Structure 1
């Protein structure tokens, strides 16, 4: 839902390692979201608004702009460290580590 489809056929990559899961999504932040303010609760912009609305209607997402908050809360409740993000204009990398 978040990736760019412009100028690339690069897939979203999910890599599972012994000590972490990495999710690499092509395309950096979009619109009002920048590498500097990425992850700010309530801040959102839509690269693929029709896809986002379809995902909401189908029940795959609950609301727009809430995914990072939900992920942080779920990981914290499970005893995991908070997710780590590396963000630039070319990609977003999310890293999830196991519970301690």
Structure 2
């Protein structure tokens, strides 16, 4: 999966993916999505994905974090 936007705000290449480190390009949109039920909790998605992949026997997520884009590789279990 590739996102055309790189890290934003307090999130940078060094701390990307650490639990609780979050920032939003549009905080109003993020809050609206939470109020509408599309988001349960901010800042836990990567941690949750890692846990579920490990429980399922999948290899860990692979990230390439650049200033202009983000690449996440999700591999199937062998």
TM-score by length of 1: 0.72
2:24 paired with 1:46: yes
* Bigger RCO (CA 8 Å, 6+ sep): 2
Aligned pair count reads 78
CA drift of 1:25 comes to: 0.4
Partner Cα distance (1:92, 1:47) in 2: 15
Q: Describe the superposition over 1:15-54 as per-residue Cα deviations: whole angstroms up to 9, x where unpaired.
A: xxxxxxxx10011000011011111111111112122112
More helix per residue:
2
Structure 2 regions of 5+ residues with no counterpart? Answer: none
| C-alpha RMSD over aligned residues | 1.1
TM-score by length of 2: 0.90
2:40 paired with 1:68: no
More strand per residue:
1
Structure 1 regions of 5+ residues with no counterpart? Answer: 1-22
